[in-house]
Amino acid sequence: MIHGEVALVQAADTTDTLNLAEVPKELTEGYEQDEMFLRKMHCMLLEVDVLEDTLQSPESGHLFPISCGIPNMLLNNEETEM
């Protein structure tokens, strides 16, 4: 579950930045049945629209721009020639 915990920490940092509902930085026992936690995660994941920002690849660290709510995840030719 390490991947999920890392994603949760990133989600908690994002909610702090955007002043959204507070999400705990680590999973607690029984989180699957914690209605308040599930509501907060639902809100953050499904009800927040990012219009302008960037996404960062966890593998390469590459930043992909988001413009008008649409992420551009295409690489330039020079970025694919590695």
pLDDT at 36: 85
6, two tokens = 């890392």
57 Cβ contact list (under 8 Å, min separation 6): 63, 64
From first to last of the 82 residues of the chain, give the pLDDT tens digit. Answer: 434 554 655 665 665 566 666 766 677 788 889 898 888 878 777 887 888 888 888 888 889 999 999 999 998 887 777 5
The pLDDT, as a whole number, for residue 16 is: 59
- For the four alpha carbons of 66, 70, 73 and 79, in that order, the dihedral sign comes to negative
Q: CA nearest 47: which of 22, 70, 20, 66?
A: 20
